[in-house]
Amino acid sequence: MTDALSTTFAALADPTRRAILARLSSGDATVGELAEPFELSLPAISKHLTVLEKAGLITKSRDGQRRHCRISVAPLKDATSWLELYRQHWEQQFDNLGDYLATIHEPPADGRGTRSTAPKENPS
C-alpha cells in the first residue's frame, strides 16, 4: 500500500505531468487542449492524466464527447505542508551556519588583525 504523499510525489516526478498541472493552474481544459503543446499521442496524454487523477491531482468530467480536466489542490497542499517542515529546518541550519561563519571571521579581541587559516611558512 502506498500513502497519498508518495503517490503525489510520484505523479509530480514526471515533467509532462508537471506541465499539465501548470496549464490547469490557469483554468480547466479539455484533453485535446492539454495534448496540444506535446509531441505525444492522445493515448499517451491520457495515461499521464490517469496518473494525475489517481493521485487526486486532477478531476475529469464529461460534456458529451469532450472530457474536461480540472486541477485539485488538496494533494498539493498536503505536499506543500510536508515540504514546509523541511524548509524551516534547513533555513534554521543555514542561519546557524551563517552565525558560525560570522564568528570565525571576526577579528580577535586583542586587535592584532584577523585570524588566518593559512599555514605558517617554515623558514629555511
Single out the residue of 64, 65, 71 nearest to residue 34, CA to CA: 71
Provide the residue-wise pLDDT of the chain in tens; the chain has 124 residues: 579 999 999 999 999 999 999 999 999 999 999 999 999 999 999 999 999 999 999 999 988 888 899 999 999 999 999 999 888 888 888 888 888 888 887 666 666 655 555 555 665 5
Look at residue 110 and tell me if it is in a domain.
Answer: no
The number of domains in the chain is 1
Are the C-beta atoms of 28 and 67 separated by less than 8 Å? no
Following CA atoms 106, 108, 112, 116 in sequence, which dihedral angle do they give, to the nearest 10 degrees? -60
CATH number, domain of 66, equals 1.10.10.10
pTM: 0.70
In a domain, 60, yes or no: yes
Contacts 24+ apart (CB under 8 A), 102-109: none
Please state the φ and ψ torsions of residue 27, each to the nearest 5 degrees: 145, 165
Domain of 67 in residue numbering reads as: 4-72
